[in-house]
C-alpha cells in the first residue's frame, strides 16, 4: 500500500458501515462515512473538483484568489485545497455562522469577511452578491459559485457514485440524499442512471425547506426555518436535478437531531445535524418497504462542530427538542 504524499490524496475513498440497532424493516441500511474526509465533510470532494476545473479551464492562475460565499463545509474544503495548491481564498460569510467554523477557516489561512445574515438577494450586503462583486473587481480572481458550477455534481458522479457501487458490490436499491447545493443528488443521479437505472434516489429534507413540495407538486411557496445545517433550501439551485427522486421525506429538527444522537449511542458514529435528517429519512423509507432492500445514506459531516449544540442536552432542552426527563440532572 503506498503512503500518500499530500492530504489531498486522502479526500474520498471513505469507509462504508452497516447500521446496527435501528428498526430498518425488511431492509439493510449502510452509511458512507464522509466525516472521515480531511476537513470532516463530503464537501472536500468538491473543494478538489471545483479548483481542478478552474485550473483546467484557465480561470485561475498561480497566486490567484478563489472567492466563494459560504461559511459551511464548502468553505473548509476550498480552504484546504487552496492552501495546499498555493491559492488565496476569500470567503464572504453571514454573521450567524458558528465561531468554530470561522476559527477553522482562519487557521487554514482563508481571508474571512463577515457580512449581515438578515438581508436577502438583491441587498448590497447580501453575502453572495458581495462575493460576486468582489470577484468582478479583483484581478486574477475566480468566483467559485458551487450552486451553479458543474464541477460540483461532477465530483459525485466520478467519485462518490463509483465508490458506493464498488463498496456495495454492485447491489444498491436506494440512495438517500439531502440537498444543499444539490451537487450530491445530481451527480449520483447521473452515475446510477448509467450503471443501475433501477436504483432509487430518495430525498430527505428538513421541515421548512421547499424541496419536498417541489418534488411532489412541481411548485413551492415561501420557505420556513430549520436548525439543520448544510441542507434544505428556499429555492431550487441551478445545478440541482431532482427529476429522478422516487420518494421524499420532510423531517423535523427534533427527529433529525434525536436520530443523529441515536447513531452515536448505537453505532459510535459522531455525525452532524444533516446526518440525522438523512438517517431519519432512510429509516422511514426502509420501514415502508415490503421486500428486502439495500439502502445507502451518508454521514455528511462530523459532529465535532456541533458538540455545544445538538450533543448538549441543555441546548436541546432549551430548543424544546428534548424532554426534561431525558436530560438527567438538570
Sole window of 3-11, 172-180, 305-313, 322-330 interacting with ligand PMP (rule: CB under 6 A) = 172-180
The stretches of the chain forming alpha helices (DSSP H) are: 44-56, 73-85, 99-107, 127-137, 151-155, 161-167, 183-195, 211-217, 253-267, 273-288, 313-318
Q: Which one among 161, 180, 276, 281 touches ligand PMP, defined by CB under 6 A?
A: 180
Euclidean distance between CA atoms 103 and 109, whole angstroms: 10
Nearer to ligand PMP, 100 or 171 (CB): 100
- Binding of residue 178 to ligand PMP (CB under 6 A): yes
Q: How far is the CB of 139 from ligand PMP (least distance, A)?
A: 29
Nearest to 80 by CA among 45, 34, 32: 45
Output the smallest distance, CB 177 to ligand PMP, in A. Answer: 7
* 300 makes contact with ligand PMP (CB under 6 A): yes
Question: Does 160 contact ligand PMP by CB under 6 A?
Answer: no
105 closest CA partner among 126, 120, 90, 123: 90
How far CA 269 is from CA of 22, 92, 128, 252, 298, in Å, comes to 14, 31, 34, 21, 11
12 binds ligand PMP per the rule CB under 6 A: no
Within 13 A of 40's CA, how many CA atoms are on the CB side? 18
Nearest to ligand PMP of 64, 255 (CB atom): 255
Distance from the Cα of residue 253 to its chain's centroid: 16
Q: Find the helix packing angle between 253-267 and 273-288, rounded to 10°.
A: 90
Q: Is position 43 an interface residue for ligand PMP (rule: CB under 6 A)?
A: yes
Shortest distance, CB of residue 223 to ligand PMP, whole angstroms?
Answer: 16
- Which string of x and - marks every residue 201-240 that binds ligand PMP (by CB under 6 A)? ----------------------------xxx---------
Asked if 131 interacts with ligand PMP (CB under 6 A), we say no
Q: Is there a catalytic annotation at residue 43?
A: yes
Pairing of strands 28-33, 16-18: antiparallel
Catalytic residues: 43
Footprint on this chain of ligand PMP (rule: CB under 6 A):
41, 43, 72-73, 178-184, 229-231, 272, 274, 300-301
Amino acid at each position: 500500500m503506498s503512503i500518500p504524499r499530500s492530504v489531498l490524496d486522502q479526500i474520498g475513498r471513505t469507509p462504508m458501515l452497516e447500521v446496527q440497532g435501528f428498526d430498518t424493516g425488511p431492509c439493510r441500511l449502510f452509511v458512507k462515512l464522509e466525516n472521515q474526509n480531511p476537513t470532516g465533510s463530503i464537501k472536500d470532494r468538491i473543494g478538489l473538483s471545483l479548483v481542478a476545473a478552474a485550473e483546467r479551464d484557465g480561470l485561475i492562475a498561480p497566486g490567484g484568489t478563489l472567492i466563494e460565499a459560504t461559511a459551511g463545509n464548502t468553505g473548509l474544503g476550498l480552504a484546504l485545497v487552496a492552501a495546499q495548491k498555493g491559492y488565496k481564498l476569500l470567503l464572504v460569510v453571514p454573521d450567524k455562522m458558528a465561531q468554530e467554523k470561522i476559527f477553522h477557516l482562519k487557521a487554514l489561512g482563508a481571508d474571512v469577511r463577515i457580512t449581515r445574515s438578515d438581508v436577502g438577494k438583491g441587498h448590497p450586503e447580501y453575502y453572495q452578491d458581495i462575493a460576486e462583486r468582489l470577484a468582478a473587481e479583483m484581478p486574477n480572481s475566480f468566483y467559485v459559485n458551487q450552486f451553479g458550477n458543474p464541477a460540483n455534481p461532477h465530483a459525485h458522479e466520478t467519485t462518490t457514485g463509483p465508490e458506493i457501487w464498488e463498496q456495495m458490490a454492485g447491489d444498491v436499491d436506494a440512495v438517500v440524499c439531502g440537498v444543499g447545493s444539490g451537487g450530491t443528488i445530481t451527480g449520483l443521479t447521473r452515475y446510477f442512471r448509467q450503471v443501475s437505472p433501477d436504483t432509487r434516489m430518495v430525498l430527505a429534507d428538513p421541515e421548512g425547506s421547499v424541496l419536498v413540495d417541489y418534488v411532489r407538486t412541481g411548485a413551492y411557496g415561501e420557505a420556513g426555518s430549520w436548525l439543520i445545517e448544510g441542507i434544505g433550501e428556499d429555492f431550487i439551485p441551478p445545478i440541482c436535478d431532482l427529476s429522478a427522486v422516487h420518494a421524499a421525506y420532510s423531517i423535523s429538527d427534533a427527529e433529525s437531531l434525536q436520530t443523529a444522537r441515536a447513531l452515536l449511542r448505537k453505532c459510535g458514529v459522531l455525525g452532524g445535524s444533516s446526518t440525522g435528517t438523512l438517517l431519519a429519512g432512510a429509516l422511514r423509507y426502509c420501514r415502508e418497504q415490503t421486500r428486502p432492500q439495500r439502502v445507502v445514506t451518508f454521514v455528511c459531516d462530523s459532529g465535532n462542530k456541533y458538540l455545544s449544540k445538538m450533543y448538549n442536552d441543555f441546548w436541546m432542552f432549551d430548543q424544546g427538542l428534548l424532554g426534561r426527563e431525558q436530560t438527567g440532572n438538570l
